[in-house]
Structure 1
Amino acid sequence: MAGGGVRVEGLSQAVRALKGLGLEVEDLKNAFATIAAEATELIASKTPRRSGRLAASVRGNRAQGKAVVRSGRASVPYAGPINYGWRKRNIEPSLFMQRGDVEYQPKAVQRLETELEAAITRKGLR
């Protein structure tokens, strides 16, 4: 997985407060799953392609307090060298993970707000 990412100040405190108000863990996971899915699609579109296996290895993960996007696996061990480069092998870094992250960053907070507002409304907490 590439370094970087979108970090929202105070997110863990906000998650705790929302749970205290009655929002369930599944609601939070679903909000972060939506963010991870959108970011995954964007990052996969930035991935260099030969066979398409690298782009297919980009996947999102939902959790209660974060959205994570990873690429590569045992069958695609070259994800790191393609993203970060490998000087000894003359592989230039493509930084596809970082480029996708930077492009999605402005949308991430907006999407989180929209998803949490919808969950709050569904629960009748407003």
Structure 2
Amino acid sequence: MSDSFEVGSGPARFRVEGLRRTVRQLERVGADAQDMRDLMHEIGSIVVQAAGPPVLSGTLAGTMRAGRGKTKAVVRVGGARAPYAGVIHYGWPAHNITAQPFVTEALQGERADILAALELGLEEISRKNNLT
């Protein structure tokens, strides 16, 4: 996730800014970096569970995993077992391969759950470190 993002659609929208700054401040007051890594892994896992890659053999789906970043949630797909993951996701017009953006669609579809998990996780870390 980026440092700022918008939530909601239509007339009820709000913008969240300063996630990186919030994470740095939590670290300064003693929040364990592992807590943040666990939270970001949980958020990435939400996307992994929701993503439905196209299935021919199941190899591509087997390469999906959530990373453990301290300041961002990361979803990785592909690698040596499925080097074609990027071509499947983003497409390749020169070869008439249409994009199938299953990770992006999962991210958009799970946005409410992701934001709820982020809010709950940050509250829990704050409570654990006596910041609330």
What band does the TM-score fall into relative to the shorter chain?
A: 0.7 to 0.9
Supply the AA of the counterpart residue of 2:40: F
Contact 2:63 2:81 in 1 (8 A): no
User: TM-score, with normalisation over the residues of structure 2?
Assistant: 0.81
Q: Which has the higher helix share?
A: 1
Query: Which structure 2 residue ranges, 5 or more long, are not aligned?
Result: 5-17
Count of aligned positions = 119
Shift of 1:55: 1.0
User: Do residues 122 (structure 1) and 128 (structure 2) align?
Assistant: yes
CA RMSD of aligned residues (A): 1.5
Shift of 1:122: 2.7
Shift of 1:73: 0.5
Contact 2:47 2:103 in 1 (8 A): no
**1:16 — aligned with what?**
24
Supply the AA of the counterpart residue of 2:59: R
Supply the AA of the counterpart residue of 1:34: E
User: TM-score, with normalisation over the residues of structure 1?
Assistant: 0.84
1:3-32 Cα offsets, whole Å, 9 max, x none, are xxx424211100011112221111111111
Q: Percent identity?
A: 32
User: Do residues 69 (structure 1) and 75 (structure 2) align?
Assistant: yes
Shift of 1:104: 2.0
Query: Which structure 1 residue ranges, 5 or more long, are not aligned?
Result: 1-5
Supply the AA of the counterpart residue of 1:116: L
1:31-85 Cα offsets, whole Å, 9 max, x none, are 1111111111112xx2110111111111110111111002111120111111111
